[in-house]
Amino acid sequence: LQPPGERLVVTGRAGWMGMGRGAGRSALGFWPTLAFLLCSFPAATSPCKILKCNSEFWSATSGSHAPASDDTPEFCAALRSYALCTRRTARTCRGDLAYHSAVHGIEDLMSQHNCSKDGPTSQPRLHTLPPAGDSQERSDSPEICHYEKSFHKHSATPNYTHCGLFGDPHLRTFTDRFQTCKVQGAWPLIDNNYLNVQVTNTPVLPGSAATATSKLTIIFKNFQECVDQKVYQAEMDELPAAFVDGSKNGGDKHGANSLKITEKVSGQHVEIQAKYIGTTIVVRQVGRYLTFAVRMPEEVVNAVEDWDSQGLYLCLRGCPLNQQIDFQAFHTNTEGTGARRLAAASPAPTAPETFPYETAVAKCKEKLPVEDLYYQACVFDLLTTGDVNFTLAAYYALEDVKMLHSNKDKLHLYERTRDLPGRAAAGLPLAPQPLLGALILLLALLPVFC
């Protein structure tokens, strides 16, 4: 695990493996697409120019500029150019997620296609986007681009799960675990065969342990005839209603409209529908910071090639134990005593100008009358940040649960979840309830069969 405050770096090569349903394509279209989408987590203010390298390689190996075969000299030349570009930006990209993904991906591709490290390089070409209005107006999508139609023709409605992140920050996982975490810096929320979501959390106040989400990056991976790779990026005071390339759908493929961005409230609320994977994402800016919520089928949630590499997939695994904060204990200790008197004992330093406990309770009660974990998270955030906008962050997070969660009996949670030390340290996922029940039954019947 990265220590708090360090940027998260992914240096493994699992991301260059298959992508599930679309993994059968040739390297000519498949690997270059992966090369671009897995390397699209650039920091907005970073001098690292890896995105430029990605873009040049993508333009050299796709569309009308694509080599006739993935084993042609032109493809190897494009790879050498890509490698050269990464070396030129190496000094400014150390510790960058995109840079390390690109370096390892290039090595893998050169090995797979027997490309020599020495030889000619290709000249970068500009990638031309499709004419505006072409793919944007298509409404007829292939059946494969509608999740419920393609995956569940002869079975029951799929089980949908929810994950959300809001406030200082509070995490609700796909298994309805509720945790308050430090997780300063860049952390992956979702990392499966179809999309990647990464958040960056920064201190709310200088020197404070209280953090909130200041940046969000979502990568939708290239999928069959439905969508091209698409990257969405939001930051403080910038909640765009389009992908980074300016488009609002999945590109120029036949099923492009199975991925769409809709602006609900300008600069405050964006919704992304990815019908081809049955997924809905809600991104909000509340005050200065971002909130995230997603509804996703269990099948997509668990579409992971290598479970060993998913130890930091927060929506699935939860926060590491050493990153968790027991905010309920803080809430209990503070009640009736006042936030300032317990500042030294609190798990997160109290902000210089915070609310008295009674005022924080009153403000949270206005928006959250049920004293569940969202209400308690609201009180905690007001006491540690002094920012009244965190009241709205908790309120909208609960509203998103009401819209996205498939089980209406689980809208309100009352007990936070803290992993057992052994399980958290090992990074093991919680066993699904049906599987756990079957295991218990099997153990009970073991003496009968033996």
Higher pLDDT, 163 or 45: 163
- In the DSSP assignment, the letter for residue 223 is B
In this predicted structure, the answer to whether residue 141 has a pLDDT above a threshold of 80 is no
Q: How confident is the model at residue 97 (pLDDT cuts 50, 70, 90)?
A: confident
In this prediction the pTM is 0.61
**DSSP H or E stretch at residue 412:** none
Query: Distance between CA 250 and CA 229 in Å, rounded?
Result: 7
pLDDT attached to residue 70:
55
Are residues 19 and 193 in contact, defined by beta-carbon separation less than 8 angstroms? yes
- In the DSSP assignment, the letter for residue 153 is T
Of 14-23, 28-37, 145-154, 190-199, least confident by mean pLDDT is: 14-23
Mean pLDDT of all residues belonging to the chain: 74
Are residues 396 and 284 in contact, defined by beta-carbon separation less than 8 angstroms? yes
Are residues 200 and 214 in contact, defined by beta-carbon separation less than 8 angstroms? yes
* β-bridge partners, 219: 196, 231
* Gyration radius from the chain CA atoms: 23
pLDDT attached to residue 427:
37
Query: Distance between CA 395 and CA 70 in Å, rounded?
Result: 51
**DSSP H or E stretch at residue 418:** none
Of 152-161, 183-192, 375-384, 416-425, least confident by mean pLDDT is: 416-425
**DSSP H or E stretch at residue 59:** helix 50-60
DSSP letter string, 265-322: ETTTEEEEEEGGGTEEEEEEEETTEEEEEEEEEHHHHT--S-GGG-TT-HHHH---GG
> Contacts from 394-398 at CB under 8 Å and sequence distance 24+?
394/166, 394/167, 394/170, 394/364, 394/367, 394/368, 395/367, 395/368, 396/166, 396/284, 396/286, 396/291, 397/164, 397/166, 397/167, 397/170, 397/172, 397/291, 397/293, 398/368, 398/374
Please provide residue 417's backbone torsions phi and psi, each rounded to the nearest 5 degrees: -110, 130
* β-bridge partners, 235: 215, 238
In this predicted structure, the answer to whether residue 196 has a pLDDT above a threshold of 60 is yes
Mean pLDDT calculated for residue range 303-317: 73
CB atoms within 10 A of CB 204: 23
For residue 438, how many C-alpha atoms fall within 13 Å in the half-sphere facing its CB? 5
Q: In what order do the strands lie in the sheet with 195-203?
A: 185-191, 195-203, 211-220, 230-235
pLDDT digits (tens, 9 = 90+) for 369-400: 999 999 999 999 999 888 999 999 999 999 99
| Residue 28, CA distances (Å) to 39, 101, 115 in order | 17, 19, 14
End-to-end CA distance of the chain: 43
Are residues 363 and 382 in contact, defined by beta-carbon separation less than 8 angstroms? yes
Say which residues have a Cβ less than 8 Å from residue 436's Cβ, sequence separation at least 6.
none
In this predicted structure, the answer to whether residue 130 has a pLDDT above a threshold of 60 is no
In sign, the C-alpha dihedral spanning 18, 21, 26, 28 is negative
* β-bridge partners, 285: 290
pLDDT digits (tens, 9 = 90+) for 216-256: 999 999 988 899 999 999 999 999 999 999 999 998 888 89
- Kindly provide the b/e burial profile for residues 39-69, where b requires at least 16 CB atoms within 10 angstroms of the residue's own CB: bbbbbeebebbbbebbbbbbbbbbeebbbee
pLDDT attached to residue 230:
94
Query: Distance between CA 395 and CA 414 in Å, rounded?
Result: 16
Q: No. of H helices and E strands in the chain?
A: 14, 12
Say which residues have a Cβ less than 8 Å from residue 3's Cβ, sequence separation at least 6.
none
